[in-house]
Structure 1
Amino acid sequence: MSTTARQWNFFTIGPLCMTAYGIIRLTDPTHGPGLAWSLGHLALLAAVLALVPVIWQLRRWAAAGRGPAARLLAGAATTAGLLGAAAATAQTVIDLVVGFLCADREAMNVMFDGVRSHPGVTAAVYSVGPLLFYVGLVLLTAQLAVLRRISAWRPLVVVAGIAVTAMSLDLLPLGGLLLLLALAPLGRQRRLAAAGAARSRPHG
């Protein structure tokens, strides 16, 4: 499989893994250690890692053939998105380790309290940090919509997917499907691929 084909697949794999995490989470009412906790968080980790190249590709499309201001905005959005992905990855790994080490939810809560007691951890890993990923994703899709490189409804669907997830984690499957609707078809849009090619073409 070519590198380009893998990039297109990430637009589908990321949202699907997020949807899978949401579905698995619904099967675990106690949200305690066990198979559902581990499988769900592995799916979430896969979702975050798959969406990293999506962020990077969106940046390439948003900056292709544009001036310094557009490139600066795309770069800032990408930085936010990648920092958010790093924070979400850290949170997911912590959750996996805690779930592996603890025998029940009560023990998990004690260990989580210990992790969050360190200065800056709550903001960086559990609250502000992961939100940066969504900020970057919204900004990049909005920039592409303004440039008319994607349909205007796509960033709105991205926002809707984020919003329903923020309302309740039980709505994660719906949020993942909305992201799938917004992102999965982008790899098949030739004008985006052409824009990326134009950016990488050497100038004479």
Structure 2
Amino acid sequence: MTRYALLTAPVLLFCYGVVRLTDPTRSVSAVWTVSHVFYLAAFPALALSAVALHRLVGDRSVLGRGLVALSVVGALSGVGQALVDLLAGWGAPDKAARALAANHLRDVIPGSSFFYGFWPALAQVGIVGLLVLAARAGRVPWWCAPLALAAFLLPTLTSLDLIPVAAVAVVPAVLPAFRAAGSTDEFGARRRSILRRPAEGSRR
């Protein structure tokens, strides 16, 4: 079931980006809060996407597990960042008060520097790496990893306003993995069903 996270993650990022665009001022409002709820929810989906890709590849090497761990670390960082931002915005009368509250929370929460900088991006780095392993294993086309990398980098290198475009571009990058994981799940279910039949027959 974790394979559904491969499509859920870009959908959540798309929703975040679209809702964010409806208020260019980034003022304290329901729009800002809703957009950050989507942002928060996207990170667990990214971590589950890494787990799904790891299962698809079947790579039990240190590299494969390390890439999953990288995505999980990035996801935890992103969730932490979103929670700080949401708590700072809770009850703040304006953007200035929200910024002051965010600074205060960063001061009082141990290790809050882990929530910012490059740390959240590790969630995407792990996914790109796992797509490379999936391509090497013949489970997805070679272009999936470069497309995912380009999509993840697009908002950072250009403008955050392009997050919806980047999220749409992620879908074709992970869709082959989603389909391959589905066929793997079906094969496993059939195999378990076949193995179960002799056992049930022997009990009769």
Q: Shorter chain as normaliser: what TM range? A: 0.7 to 0.9
What amino acid does structure 2 have at the position aligned with 1:38?
T
Q: Distance in 2 between matches of 1:191 and 1:18?
A: 23
Give the equivalent residue in structure 1 for 2:128: 138
Q: Distance in 1 between matches of 2:12 and 2:187?
A: 26
Q: 1:190 to 1:32 in 2, by over 3 A?
A: closer
What amino acid does structure 1 have at the position aligned with 2:165?
L
Tell me the alpha carbon deviations over residues 7-60 of structure 1, each in whole angstroms, 9 at most, x when there is no partner: 333222210110110011111112122111111011112222222221111111
- Check whether the contact 1:161–1:175 (CA below 8 A) recurs between aligned residues: yes
- For the pair 1:172 / 2:134, whether they are aligned, the reply is no
Give the equivalent residue in structure 2 for 1:71: 61
Q: Distance in 2 between matches of 1:19 and 1:136?
A: 20
Larger relative CO (CA 8 A, sep 6+): 1 or 2?
1
Identity %: 27
TM-score by length of 1: 0.83
- Check whether the contact 1:60–1:196 (CA below 8 A) recurs between aligned residues: no
Structure 1 runs (4+) deviating above 6 angstroms are none
What amino acid does structure 2 have at the position aligned with 1:157?
L
- Check whether the contact 1:18–1:173 (CA below 8 A) recurs between aligned residues: yes
Return the match for 2:17 from 19, 22, 46: 22
Q: Distance in 1 between matches of 2:187 and 2:155?
A: 31
Give the equivalent residue in structure 2 for 1:188: 179
Q: Distance in 2 between matches of 1:184 and 1:93?
A: 30
- Check whether the contact 1:98–1:112 (CA below 8 A) recurs between aligned residues: yes
Give the equivalent residue in structure 1 for 2:8: 13
- What SS does structure 2 have at the residue aligned with 1:189? helix
Give the equivalent residue in structure 2 for 1:49: 44
Structure 2 stretches lacking a partner, 5+ long: 193-204
Aligned CA-pair RMSD: 2.6
Q: Distance in 1 between matches of 2:176 and 2:23?
A: 32
- Check whether the contact 2:75–2:120 (CA below 8 A) recurs between aligned residues: yes
Q: Distance in 2 between matches of 1:133 and 1:196?
A: 29
TM-fit CA distance, 1:176: 0.8
Return the match for 2:104 from 114, 120, 128: 114
Q: Distance in 2 between matches of 1:14 and 1:196?
A: 25
TM-fit CA distance, 1:141: 0.8
- Check whether the contact 2:56–2:177 (CA below 8 A) recurs between aligned residues: no
Structure 1 stretches lacking a partner, 5+ long: none
TM-score by length of 2: 0.83
- Provide the aligned length of Structure 1 versus Structure 2: 190
- What SS does structure 1 have at the residue aligned with 2:104? helix
* Worse-matched range after superposition: 165-174 or 180-189: 180-189
Q: 1:195 to 1:85 in 2, by over 3 A?
A: farther
* Worse-matched range after superposition: 11-20 or 187-196: 187-196
Give the equivalent residue in structure 2 for 1:101: 91
